[in-house]
Structure 1
Amino acid sequence: MTDTHSRQPELVWYLAYGSNMSSAKFTGGRGIVPLDTVRVRIPGWILAMEIPGLPYSEPSFSSIVPRTCIEAVVEKCATPDLVGLAYLITQDQYRHVLASEGGGTAYRDISVRGEALEAEDSQRIGHPILLRTLATAMRRQPWPAPSRRYKDLLVQGGEEARLPPKYQQYLSEMACYNPPDAQWTKIGAFIFTTMWGPVMAFLEWITGISIQEDGNALPCVILLVRWTMFIIWASHDYLFAPVFGRGDGL
């Protein structure tokens, strides 16, 4: 007789802390329908805007770091423990999440322990809960500010997920990058984004076509992306920022 239980897909709890908290992004954009959803807190971890993006446009994206690693970056007392959504999904769906988040170029797969915000959820799923999520594999320090567009995604995701009011306030008060008002800086921003924007688009394309079964891009592509991002930010730091003004919100 066939063991039907052995054919059931392995399930994981995936922690979403950024734009994936929005159902429009996670279910609509990524096409993933979770089997269960729980609001969770991750003690000892905080939100970190340390994934480098494109200066003058999308300077940074969110990640998470242990609180013990942030003394020189942010005020520990002013930064709350990470709060997000835990989605119960299959391993195949989690690999799809990894692939859609850069295939290992900027993020790496980690496990963290969290706790449900609601007592009934804690009783139902256990305490603590082991979560899989994506953390920093390519970082920028000091942290650039996120764009207004990206910050709004975080705020909207927090509102939709009905995260605690204080955490929603923390997200809404986060500093963001505002496009320059000075004409000279606008010129520099236009030159920079015109030069590097197509390169970023190419990196996204080549990453997408090189995704393997485990959700990661080919190692050579990961190396190419990271070195190119290093060059992009070096051109900002040593050429454009001194001449035109910074494009990272710092």
Structure 2
Amino acid sequence: MTQSKLATNVAGFVSENSKDEEMLWYLGYGSNMSSKVLSGRRQVFPKESCPVVVNGYQLTFDMAGLPYWEPGFGTLKQVDTNSKYKIEKQSKSNTPLVRSSGKSDNRPTETDRTPDCQVGAPLHCVAHLITRSEMDHIINTEGGNGNPDFGYQVIEVECQTYDGKTIVGVTLIDKDEQKTCKHPSPRYHKILLDGAAEYGLAEEYVERLSAIVPYSASAVGQKTAKWMMLVIGLPLGLPAIIMSMAALVFKIKVPRFVAAYSEMVKKLLWALHDYVFSPIFGAGC
């Protein structure tokens, strides 16, 4: 069984000057699989990157974003490892593949979760060898900005490279359990597919990732709600966006009150979606 450990204090990953060059394996399973995002946008430059398999977890899109625009971002859901998914090896390339024999016990059993918004286990992702200070930067720029009370939290997981080596890496996970799964936007979904192709993730996993159905506001009501949500959400979220960008410019940790305010705005917008917009205009996730 894959061993994982939730970091008790995200601040423990904040670097001291003497540890800036300490290296660690960071597991990117979402947009950070792509070098265009990790290096191009976040300015993190791995010394080495390789595809890996993480047993006991699957990719979902339960990290809430903005309804109708970016409904769900990637996070991990721990699953029962006693499943019908089996890792096999191709005789020629030695690349682990995931074979499914019928319906998997890994799938959550809630009736409001559907296979088109969760990828299934085991997880395939990209392990990036980066410095501790680069990991700090990733944490500071992801949802929650490293706040221990909400947003992404740091966990340690054991994984296997495609050539059979075992490594221990760190990654980020949203600790909040969601009963209703969300879908990614077409934009976000494409970034994941591009990243998976870039680092040669197993074909079977790419097929499962491709089977995810991105959210699109197709009905007239949904298109109307989409722009209404932006008109309401942008003024509310703009102060936090500006303060977060300022913190990054000055290379300081995003203040806790900024992260807390962002979380409050997100919950407000999703409550507006769940109880007002969705019943009237149609679902935005």
State the TM-score bracket (shorter-chain normalisation).
0.7 to 0.9
Specify the alignment match of 1:170 in structure 2: 208
The 3 A distance-change label for structure 1 pair 196 and 81 is same
Match for residue 67 of structure 2 among 42, 51, 55: 55
Task: Give the equivalent residue in structure 2 for 1:3.
Answer: none
Tell me, in whole angstroms, the C-alpha distance in 1 between the residues paired with 2:182 and 2:259.
22
Partners of 1:21 and 1:98 in 2: CA distance: 15
Alignment partner of 1:186 is 2:231: no
Going from structure 1 to structure 2, the CA distance change for 1:89 and 1:61 (only over 3 Å counts) comes to same
Deviation at 1:179, TM superposition (A): 1.8
Query: Greater CA deviation, 155-164 or 188-197?
Result: 188-197
Does the alignment pair 1:233 with 2:274?
Answer: no
TM-score, scaled to structure 1: 0.84
- Deviation at residue 245 of structure 1 after TM alignment: 1.3
Letter in 1 for 2:196: G
* Residues 1:155 and 2:200 aligned together: no
Moved more, 160-169 or 20-29: 20-29
Distance 1:65 1:57 in 2: 23
* Alpha-carbon distance change, 8 to 237 in structure 1, aligned in 2, over 3 angstroms: closer
- Which stretches in structure 2 are left out of the alignment for 5+ residues? 1-17, 81-105
Do 2:152 and 2:175's aligned partners in 1 also have CA atoms closer than 8 Å?
Answer: yes
Q: Deviations over 1:92-142 (max 9, x none)?
A: 0110111121312521111111111124xx2xxxx2x11111110456441
1:143 and 2:181 are equivalent in the alignment: yes
Provide the rounded CA distance (Å) in 1 between the counterparts of 2:187 and 2:258: 28
Return closer, same or farther for 1:216/1:141 CA change in 2, 3 Å cut-off. farther
- RMSD, matched Cα: 2.6
CA distance in 1, matches of 2:216, 2:40: 28
2:39 to 27, 35, 39: 27
- Rounded to whole Å, the distance in 2 between the matches of 1:136 and 1:38 is 24
Q: In the alignment, is the contact (CA less than 8 A) between 1:95 and 1:215 conserved in 2?
A: no
Give the total of aligned pairs. Answer: 234
Which residue does 1:93 correspond to in 2? 134
Q: 1:197 deviation in Å?
A: 2.9
Q: Is residue 190 of structure 2 the alignment partner of residue 132 of structure 1?
A: no
Matched, 1:199 2:211: no
Q: TM-score, normalised by structure 2?
A: 0.74
Find out whether 1:36 has 2:77 as its counterpart.
Answer: no
Tell me the equivalent position of 1:106: 151
Q: 1:146 to 1:210 in 2, by over 3 A?
A: same
SS in 2 for 1:177: coil
Q: Quote the offset at 1:8 in angstroms.
A: 7.6
Report the CA distance between 1:78 and its aligned residue. Answer: 7.3
